[in-house]
Every structure is written in structure tokens, then in C-alpha cells.
Structure 1
Amino acid sequence: MERKVPDDDLLIQLTQQHPDFCRLRMELVEAKSLGPAPRIAVCGLMNAGKSALLNGLTGHIETEVFETKEIRATTQLQALEHEGHLYLDTPGIDACDEDDRLAWLGLANADVILFVHNLRTATLEQIETAFLCELKRRRPDLERHLVVVLTHAESVTQREVSEQAIGKILQSLFGTVPAAFATSFTTLRNGVRKGNTKLLELSGFDSLREHLQAHPGLLERGVSKQRAERDDHRRDVLEHFLDQQIAQRRKRLVKLEGTQAAQLEQLQNSVDGLFESVSHGLARG
């Protein structure tokens, strides 16, 4: 059976009243404009070390491309193409509503998502776990695309304890522990300045780069396939939602028609009764 295209009024109403419907439509529109370069989006709290991580991954050790500050620095989506990959720096998830909106926009069509946590704050905060739960809801394919990066590894004395605690939380959220890497931009920079390969190795950046280079979500065939699957899922959800809304409206229409029919019958009976009464009163003996 051919699907009837919903009219514009219904689409406008659904867009205004149902945030997820609006979001999925916007994500589909944005997906059409994506370039071929695999997208790596970085997310996390405001001072998680996202920008420093991106500077390290893109080889900008002395000159910042992604600005790093102790205060709120990233207030919009920042992008840089490097060695065939498009890196996206998103605003901190704890900054403000507008920053959150921009962060979600950058994550919606990312081929790999780097969730960044500052090891100096030990285990994950409640706002981070809530964010990951919402990210999983919006991205049902998240487990295949998520990489956890633990920053400032050089400043933590009991790193293993923190990593184990974080692993338990991730296990409870996802049923498995995503790939996780401890990194230190400070150690990386010292290694580059001194030409010290041991420091470069200890920084964790080489291991993270190797993982990303082999990640299925960033390989050419994997990118197009998984983007298509993501869009198909969005269309399925939208169509199911539309079917539900149309069915509900039809049900209300039938109920309304039934109510109107009952009211019409009641009115007709009243008119018939009145006519009979008047006719009887006017009858000539």
C-alpha cells in the first residue's frame, strides 16, 4: 500500500510539539550535506581537555588550532580536516543550553565519538553519566562508535584505581566497556620538544592514533555503510512515529464523528417530538 504523505500542517505541528521528531528530521537534513571525510567528534565537560586532545591528535603541539583555556573557550563547533579526517571540537556539555544544542548537533552524524574525561576529577560525574545515557538514546549505534579518552594522566597518582572505577560505570551503562585510552598532552609536548620516544609512547597518543586508524567507522567502506544504516534507522523511527500520530488522529476523528452522529440523532428526535407535540396541539377536533 502506498504511504500517504502527511500534509504540511501536520508536520509543522509535530515539529513544534515533539522535540525528537524535530531532531530526527534535522539530523536527516544535515546528513545529506556531509562530505566524504570521516568525522571524529570530541565531547565532554568544559575542562575535560578536549581541545588539547585535538591539538595533539592533529600534530599542533606548539601552536593551538583548538583553543585551550581554563575558562569556557569553545562556544561553537570548531572543525579541522587533518590527514583525511574531519575533527570536530564541541562545546562543553555543562556550559549552557545553547552550547548543549551545538554539541548534540556535532555528535548526531559523527562517525567516531571521543568522550573525554579529566582523570584529575577521578571517576565520572553524574552529569557525565547522564550525558552518556542521553547520547546512547539519541545514537542507538553508540557502542560501535564510542571511544573513551582519559586526559591528564600525568597528574594522577592512582590512575589504575580511577580507570577501574570508570570502567565499572561504563560497564553498567553499556553492558560492555568501550575502548579507553589514557593520554597526557603535557607528556606528548615534552616528548616532542626533547625528541624522547619513551615520553611519546607514555603520552598515550600513539596508541589512540593507531586505534583510530584501524577503526571500522573511519574506513571508507565503513563510513558510507554505517551512515546509510543510521539514516535508515531515523527514517524508520520517523515513519513509525507518523503512523502512530495518524492513527491517533483517525481514532479521534471517528470518535468525533460518533459524537456528532449521536448529537444529530438526539436533535432529530427532539425535533420529531416537538413536531408531534405541536401537531397534536393544533389538531382540529
Structure 2
Amino acid sequence: MFSGMNPDLEAPIYKGLNRYVNDGVQLMAAFEGAIAATAQPLRITTCGLLKAGKSSLLNALTDHIETELFATGATRTTVQNQTLSHQNFVFVDTPGLDATEEDDKEAWNALSTADVLLFVHDPGVGELDQAEINFLSELAGQPGAQQGLEERLVVILTRLDSNEEVIDAIAQKVQNQIKNCLGIEPRLFQISFTSYQKGKLEGKQKLVEYSRIPLLQQHIFENLARLHYQFEVLRQGRIDESCKQLINKIDLEISNRTEKIIFHGKEFDRAYEALTKDADKLISTLRTKFAAYNETY
């Protein structure tokens, strides 16, 4: 969960954090990243498993239909976060989750400061798998993430044209899974990048409409733009929550160490008391023995 910053690990504050909490540097980086994000445009960040269609989605949303800006392909192409400013937003493409540890770390860099989350799922594989559910649970646990999550999280089922007969049933299952996991019912869109691209390039408006991408664009560029104040509250909440999480972890560690000191102190006292009693008993026994010896001899 790094914010993408490069902290000075030799600075006293980081040295101090490392003495108390293992992830102190990450927590501080998240806090500093949350502060830095307040001066930036709203960030719309994709998330989802490898090859779910995240890059194609962003190419459509940012009007890069003929010439890709966000790389796509049959193999793993996005291994670093890619960003683009478009219509007063910053769009961020992330690596596929659950592919490699490095990819996951890179993705969480961007997700930790995301205002809007486009959770992309390929319905061709059916409902959400366990890795996706685990991701959503972890996402909800990030500092400030619960703030307005139902409006900030947008679920997108890709490849509508390839799964038209089953996509409605899959969409319902996905909604139920998210409700069970997070307790919310975010907006869900079913889209087809292939139909949108073909419609745009060939001037076929019916294909463009069939793709349902214009509906998603309207939701993002109009509906979400109206929530700017809520996003400012979210950003402040993320700062406050990051700070709280860091302080709480340090307080907990100090409390644990204090208890250990007290515990070992009591153990020492009990051991000393036991030793004293044993020693007194031994000395008393020896004195009795010595007295008896003296009387005899």
C-alpha cells in the first residue's frame, strides 16, 4: 500500500517508526500520499484481475479508439500504473491483481489515493472468484475507503457482445456477492469495447449505443463530477484515517511493550519472593541444624 513516494528511510521519523511497527514506512507513505492527492484532480482508477479489460475500458473512456494509449494485448501488458489527464480527471490504469506480488504492490500504490474505482470483471469466467472477493474486502479496509464507497465504486462487466445471453444473470450474482461482502450495492454497467470501437471507426451509431459505453461516460463525466464536494470530504477522511491508523498502531505497540515490561517485572518480583522464602527456609533449617550440632558437640 505504498503511495508511490520515495521516503528518506534515514530520516529520524522513519527510523523511529521502524522501531515500533513493521509497516510504519508504508503507513506514513500512505498518509503523505493522501495529503499530496488533495491538490490533484479527481482520480479515476481501474482495478481487477489480469486481462479483465481495464486498459480497453480506459481507451474508450478517454477517446483513444484508433490509437491505444493504454496498452492492451493477449499477454500481460500493464505492469506499471499509467496515468492520463482527461476532462478534469486523472485516469489511472493499474496492473492486473493476483498476477505477481510486484504487480499487486504497484496497483495498490494507485488504489490508495483513488477517488473513483472502476472495478472491472470479465463475465466470461462467471461470477467473482475468491481472489476478487478478497480484493474487495481488503479495499474496504483501506484508510478512509468506506467513505462514500457505494457511489465511488463502479462495477463494470466487459465483453458484453461475447456474453450477451448470460450477462444479466452473472450481473445479478456479482451484485449479490458485493452486497454480501461489502454491504453496498454500487452501480453496475455492462459494456463492449469491441462494439464501441467498431461503431466509432465505422460511424455506426447503433453499435456505439449497443456498447453502453456512452451511459458509463455520462455517469462518470456528469454524475460523479457533481459529487466533487463529497470527494473532498473523502480525501480529508483518508488523511484523518491514515493518521489515526498510524497513531493507533504505535499506541498499541507501546501498550504491548508496557504490558511485557510490567509482566516481566511481576515475574521478577515473584521469583525474588520465592527465592527469598526458599533462602530463608534453607537458612532457618541450617541454623536449626547448626544449633543441634552445637548442642551435641
The TM tier, using the shorter chain, reads 0.7 to 0.9
**Contact conserved, 1:133 with 1:173, CA < 8 A, in 2?**
yes
Say whether the 8 Å CA contact 1:145–1:217 is kept in structure 2: no
Residue of structure 2 aligned with 1:11, choices 10, 17, 20: 17
In structure 1, what is the Cα distance between the partners aligned to 2:135 and 2:205? 36
Match for residue 159 of structure 2 among 137, 152, 163: 152
| Displacement of 1:88 | 0.7
Tell me the TM-score normalised to structure 2 length: 0.81
2:160/2:191 contact within 8 Å kept: yes
Q: Distance in 2 between matches of 1:130 and 1:68?
A: 25
1:33 aligns with 2:36: yes
- d(CA) in 1 for partners of 2:225, 2:112: 14
Contact kept, 8 Å, 2:155 with 2:188, in 1: the verdict is yes
> In the alignment, does 2:133 pair up with 1:129?
yes
Distance across 1 between alignment mates of 2:104 and 2:141: 16
**Which letter maps to 2:64?**
H
Answer whether contact 1:116 1:150 (CA < 8 A) is retained.
yes
What does residue range 1-285 of structure 1 map to in structure 2 within 5 Å?
A: 11-16=17-22, 19=23, 22-34=25-37, 35-138=39-142, 139-141=145-147, 142-158=149-165, 159-216=167-224, 219-263=227-271
Deviation at 1:216, TM superposition (A): 4.8
Deviation, structure 1 residue 209: 1.2
Worse-matched range after superposition: 137-146 or 196-205: 137-146
Query: Retained in 2: the 8 A contact 1:46–1:94?
Result: yes
Q: How does the TM-score come out when normalised to structure 1?
A: 0.84
1:238 corresponds to which letter in structure 2? L
Give aligned-pair identity as a percent: 34
Shift in alpha-carbon separation, 1:164–1:46, aligned structure 2, 3 A: same
Cα distance in 2 between the residues matched to 1:93 and 1:53: 16
Aligned residue-pair number: 275
CA separation in 1, counterparts of 2:203 and 2:13? 65
Q: Is the 8 A contact 2:34 2:238 kept in 1?
A: no
Give the 3 Å change call, closer, same or farther, for CA 260–153 of structure 1 in structure 2: same
Any idea what SS the aligned residue of 2:45 has?
strand
Q: Which has the higher contact order (CA 8 A, sep 6+)?
A: 2
Residues 255, 206 of structure 1: alpha-carbon distance in 2 compared, 3 angstrom cutoff: same
RMSD of Structure 2 on Structure 1 (CA): 2.9
Compute the displacement of 1:262 (Å).
4.4
Give unmatched runs, 5+ long, in structure 2. Answer: 1-11, 291-297
Shift of 1:217: 7.3
Q: CA deviation at 1:83?
A: 1.2
Is 168-177 or 269-278 further displaced after alignment? 269-278
